[in-house]
């Protein structure tokens, strides 16, 4: 795999109104650029190449983002399904870092017709359009098994731990985060991005590229709301407990209930709401 481009930030001159006066300052803002994900695989005696997604993301952890996206969509199931992840060498230097090609292992079985619906995404909503839970069942997802237990105090401590790890948010105030925690509240992995879905794909993709595809011993914390798409990605990664600082959507609650996941929302100092899977919360 190629060396990855490091995370980037940008600054803009702004006029700030504070305490009745205007002041000109140089303000740090979240960097947002498009990234195209391309697939390369063998079929019919030759190599097939197809662009399958364009997402607006914060540059950095691009390979993890691509791998996490493909894992969440069921195109790859394990690290061995990926031969290589690289930037596109055929483009000019600036454009090359915005195109990531994932080469699949020879003989990998997947349905290329699924790629005919291009997954064009935006930073605001990520991959949209899955309107039913049936798609997850067809993809082979089963209910998440019981076992993991989390103390309320551990959940309440997670937002502070996540925020302290968010260098991008500290600089810009305008970026999402997803954090993977041990049951005792220890932060295991954290990624930031202007897109909520991208941040989670980066977390899961990093684990995939390290050979870890079953994250059943972990708790996920989202810096914003919990949507259907985010719960879907957590389900594919087998994460049993999903917590969010914001509210869950109705379809996210339906998904969590259907697949025996614990869904926690409005995690604030001293309180939170449990929507499904209360049995995994101690006390």
| Catalytic residue positions, numbered | 125
Of the candidates 95, 110, 70, 79, the residue with the CA atom closest to the CA atom of residue 5 = 95
193 Rama sector, left if φ>0, alpha if ψ -120 to 50, beta otherwise: beta
Token pair of 240 as six digits: 């049993």
Check if the beta carbon of residue 34 is closer than 8 Å to that of residue 56: yes
Number of helices and strands in the chain (H, E): 8, 13
Count Cβ atoms below 10 Å from residue 91 Cβ, excluding itself.
13
CA angle 110, 116, 119 (to 5 degrees): 95
Q: Report how far residue 55's alpha carbon sits from residue 63's, in angstroms, rounded to the nearest whole number.
A: 13
DSSP 27-75: EEEE--EEEEEEEEEEETTEEEEEEEEEEEE-SS-HHHHHHHHHHHTTS
Of the candidates 251, 194, 257, 183, the residue with the CA atom closest to the CA atom of residue 223 = 194
DSSP 120-149: E-BTTTBS-----SHHHHHTT--PPPS---
Sheet with 176-181, side-by-side order of all strands: 187-193, 176-181, 219-222, 241-244, 262-268, 271-276
Q: Report how far residue 218's alpha carbon sits from residue 65's, in angstroms, rounded to the nearest whole number.
A: 19
Residue that the structure tokens 């230097």 belong to? 93
Token pair of 220 as six digits: 């996920």
């Amino acid at each position: 795999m190629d060396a990855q481009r490091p995370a980037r930030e940008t600054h803009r001159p702004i006029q700030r109104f504070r305490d009745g006066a205007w002041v000109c300052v140089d303000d740090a803002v979240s960097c947002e650029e498009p990234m195209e994900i391309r697939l390369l695989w063998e079929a019919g005696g030759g190599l097939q190449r197809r662009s399958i997604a364009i997402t607006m993301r914060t540059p950095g952890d691009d390979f993890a983002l691509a791998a996490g996206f493909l894992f969440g969509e069921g195109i790859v199931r394990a690290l061995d399904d990926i031969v290589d992840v690289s930037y596109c060498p055929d483009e000019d230097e600036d454009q090359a870092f915005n195109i990531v090609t994932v080469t699949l292992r020879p003989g990998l079985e997947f349905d290329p017709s699924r790629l005919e619906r291009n997954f064009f995404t935006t930073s605001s909503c990520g991959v949209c359009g899955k309107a039913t839970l049936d798609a997850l069942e067809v993809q082979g997802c089963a209910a998440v098994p019981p076992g993991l237990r989390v103390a309320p105090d551990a959940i309440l401590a997670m937002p502070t731990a996540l925020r302290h790890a968010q260098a991008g948010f500290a600089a810009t105030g305008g970026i999402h985060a997803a954090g993977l925690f041990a049951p005792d509240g220890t932060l295991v992995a954290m990624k930031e991005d202007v897109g909520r879905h991208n941040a989670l794909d980066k977390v899961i993709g990093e684990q995939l590229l390290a050979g870890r595809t079953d994250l059943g011993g972990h708790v996920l914390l989202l810096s914003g709301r919990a949507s259907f798409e985010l719960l879907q990605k957590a389900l594919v990664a087998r994460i049993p407990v999903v917590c969010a600082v914001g509210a869950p959507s109705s379809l996210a609650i339906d998904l969590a209930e259907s697949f025996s996941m614990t869904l926690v929302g409005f995690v604030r100092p001293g309180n939170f709401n449990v929507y499904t899977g209360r049995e995994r919360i101690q006390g």
